[in-house]
Structure 1
Amino acid sequence: MRAMSGDDVIEAVAGCTAALRPAVGGDWRAVRAGRLEWDCHTTAVHVADDLIAYAANLAGRARDGYLPFELTLDEGTGNADLLHVIETTGALLAAAVRTAPPGVRGFHSYPFRSADREGFAAMGVAEVLLHTHDIAEGLGLPYEPSADLAESVLTWLFPHVQPGPAPWPTLLWATGRGELPGRAPVTAWTWYNNLVIGAGRLDLVGIRPAAARDLSLGGDGGFEWIEGGPYEGTRQAAGFLLKAYETGVHRPEFGVFALVRREDGRAVGGMGFHSAPDEEGRVEIGYDLTEGARGNGYATEALRALADWAMARDDVRALFATVETGNTASRAVVARAGFVLVSEDADEVAYELRR
């Protein structure tokens, strides 16, 4: 798995400054940045401001809002010095990403109000790539980042976007900056950091497409698992998530979660939805635990938390789960979480939880 890192931030910034440096002698305030309403100077300042804000929120472990400061340039700062500021703020974000422990999150407003170190790296890279494109377009300069960087941004921040024939044109299309054959123009867009749901002694940590691909191929998905993990059911669920992503039907909030113990940051199992809710608001849940984690109440805590989260949504009216008839432990989990038995045969039993 190619995780987003501080090195990616440095690579993106280096590509930005190399592309824009030939035009530092021009008047960037007089030129509009591509399709944006901002001029090229304002857009470049915005890039630097985002980089330092992301670094601060991650390093400061901001929880409820952005840290209360913003970047202000000295009067008369020229374009060459502005590029130096971008290099510096990029280095600060890279350092914050490299030094943040796994699982640490900082505030970001949309859509789930937090991001981890990989998320902040991906957002920083996205800001640099997309706004360098805008500025370069306005100044008439050539620019195209590496396909690896563009693909990483897509798999870490755009899990709802079906992969296209090439990563960079797909990213431009997904952010309203270009066209893609066979797809309607994008007029409004957002990115998605992964959802995390607290559950007693656990956190349910949303699995991104990049991590799902790694899990489905036998990797760890970027998680530290207890011995024996991940269990086969989690790998299969990751494969289903990846297929949904590749066919353009994945909804990130109705994906798969790794069950991560707070006490040591180690994953003990997986839980998630089989799909998005149907027209009647009905959605199926599945889960498994690594053998060494069973018998500790983890599955019950996680299922209660996920059910509470789902039932608080307007688009969910019922949850259901199927269990092998002879799996008494799993049947006890769904019963303790409030599900009721609705059908039974020789092989499987079905439970449902209604609003």
Structure 2
Amino acid sequence: MDLELQTERLTLTPCTDETLLTYSTNGYKLGPHIGMYLEELKKDASALGWGVWLVIDKQTNNIIGDIGFKGKPDNEKSVEVGYGIISTKQNKGYATEALKCIIEWAFNSDSVNKITAECLVDNIPSVKVLQKLNMTKIKNDNHMLYWQLNK
């Protein structure tokens, strides 16, 4: 399974100690989820691909955000996706481009039939991204929207 994905403008690669050294983190802040995922990878190599992926701008080789799954597929062949793009690169379609690519990768893996996501009700950019990718809103609970996409 090839673990470097290409879109028109982006390279998506799983976050590892090595890939963090390969690309420029200029302007990109490593969130706490990165450290947690790198620790998990040390314990379970099969988690590669089911955690954080770096979103890299092909033109600059800069990391402009991250995207990925909150763990390996569960018994229902379901994974939850999450993403974030740095503020200077938002509203340019990068999140949609990256998410579309990673959804295709997951559905092609044969271990995923359902992808879920959640976002705050007032996170309009995220709502638009999830709508563009034909995700279905399944629940609105306590200021959170819950989304689902079936294979």
TM-score (norm 2): 0.90
Instruction: Choose which of 220, 245, 256 in structure 1 pairs with 2:41.
Output: 245
Structure 2 matches for 1:19-30, cutoff 5 A? none
Instruction: Choose which of 264, 268, 273 in structure 1 pairs with 2:69.
Output: 273
Secondary structure at 1:300's aligned position in 2?
A: helix
- Offset, 1:245: 2.3
The aligned amino acid for 1:203 is T
Alignment correspondent of 1:32: none
User: Is 1:197 the counterpart of 2:5 in the alignment?
Assistant: yes
What whole-Å deviation, never above 9, does each CA across 1:191-231 have from its counterpart, x for those lacking one? xxxx11112211111111x258xxxxxxxx3221353x12x
Misfit runs of 4+, over 6 Å? none
Aligned equivalents of 1:285, 1:323: Cα separation in 2: 11
Aligned equivalents of 1:336, 1:315: Cα separation in 2: 24
Alignment correspondent of 1:288: 84
Structure whose residues are more often helix by fraction: 1
Contact map agreement 1:204 1:258 (CA 8 A) in 2 = yes
Secondary structure at 1:254's aligned position in 2?
A: coil
The aligned amino acid for 2:25 is W
- Give the paired residue count: 150
Alignment correspondent of 2:25: 225
TM-score (norm 1): 0.40
The aligned amino acid for 1:207 is C
Alignment correspondent of 1:311: 107
**Greater RCO (Cα-Cα under 8 Å, separation 6 or more):** 2
Change (3 A) 1:347 1:243: farther
The aligned amino acid for 2:24 is E
Give the number of the structure whose alpha-carbon radius of gyration is greater. 1
Contact map agreement 2:41 2:48 (CA 8 A) in 1 = no
What whole-Å deviation, never above 9, does each CA across 1:40-90 have from its counterpart, x for those lacking one? xxxxxxxxxxxxxxxxxxxxxxxxxxxxxxxxxxxxxxxxxxxxxxxxxxx
Contact map agreement 1:273 1:283 (CA 8 A) in 2 = yes
Structure 2 matches for 1:1-355, cutoff 5 A? 111-112=1-2, 195-208=3-16, 210-211=17-18, 221-222=20-21, 223-227=23-27, 229-230=28-29, 234-248=30-44, 250-355=46-151
- Offset, 1:277: 0.1
- Offset, 1:250: 4.8
Unaligned runs of 5+ in 1: 1-110, 113-194, 213-220
Percent of matched pairs sharing the same residue = 23
The aligned amino acid for 2:60 is D
Secondary structure at 1:253's aligned position in 2?
A: coil
Q: What do you get for the CA RMSD once the two structures are aligned?
A: 1.8
Contact map agreement 1:206 1:256 (CA 8 A) in 2 = yes
Aligned equivalents of 1:249, 1:202: Cα separation in 2: 25
- Offset, 1:327: 0.5
Structure whose residues are more often strand by fraction: 2
Unaligned runs of 5+ in 2: none
